[in-house]
């Protein structure tokens, strides 16, 4: 459920940083586990609040995903709490690529139900079924099939 107060607070605190840092390569955010996590939060979570109902909400996903994958490949998640690990891996769950969804599913299965496993499973099923997230179709200018419209109507719109 959108909260305009949270969105406004995030906008005040992070909009400038998001714009300033978005053009940098993933390697610039791979100094240590906590820097990588901060960058993932900035590029994966913040845009979804700042740019609701806009394609810009997803524009930073490739950067967030590249940082997350590199951090996970380095095993940096082991230095984080379970909640932090959940957010580090979130770009995989948000990806419309089936390979990322498979990795997300396996990762969140290890974290367990308290840390996103049910959501990872639901996201995986949507990508396995449609190859994309139907709830993004309208904002991204994509035409939805009848089955996709029905899925969104049934509540598959995170």
- Per residue in 113-131, pLDDT (tens digit) is 899 999 999 999 999 999 9
Q: Could you read off the pLDDT of 37-91 as tens digits, one per residue?
A: 999 999 999 999 999 999 999 999 999 999 999 999 999 999 999 999 999 999 9
**For the chain, what are the domain ranges?**
4-153
Total Cβ atoms within 10 A of residue 142:
12
What pTM does this model have? Answer: 0.93
**Six token digits for residue 84:** 């932090």
**Six token digits for residue 41:** 């939060």
4-153: which CATH number, 3.40.50.300, 3.90.420.10, 2.40.128.690, 1.25.40.10? 1.25.40.10
């Amino acid at each position: 459920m959108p909260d305009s107060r949270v969105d406004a607070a995030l906008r005040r605190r992070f909009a400038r940083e998001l714009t300033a840092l978005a053009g940098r390569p993933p390697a610039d955010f791979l100094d240590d586990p906590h820097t990588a996590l901060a960058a993932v939060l900035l590029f994966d979570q913040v845009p979804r609040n700042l740019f609701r109902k806009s394609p810009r909400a997803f524009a930073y996903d490739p950067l967030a995903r590249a940082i997350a994958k590199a951090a996970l490949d380095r095993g940096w998640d082991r230095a984080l709490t379970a909640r932090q690990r959940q957010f580090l891996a979130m770009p995989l769950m948000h990806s419309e690529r089936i390979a990322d969804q498979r990795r997300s599913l396996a990762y969140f299965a290890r974290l367990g139900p308290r840390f996103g496993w049910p959501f990872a499973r639901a996201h995986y099923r949507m990508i396995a079924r449609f190859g994309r997230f139907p709830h993004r179709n309208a904002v991204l200018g994509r035409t939805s099939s009848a089955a996709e419209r029905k899925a969104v109507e049934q509540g598959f719109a995170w």
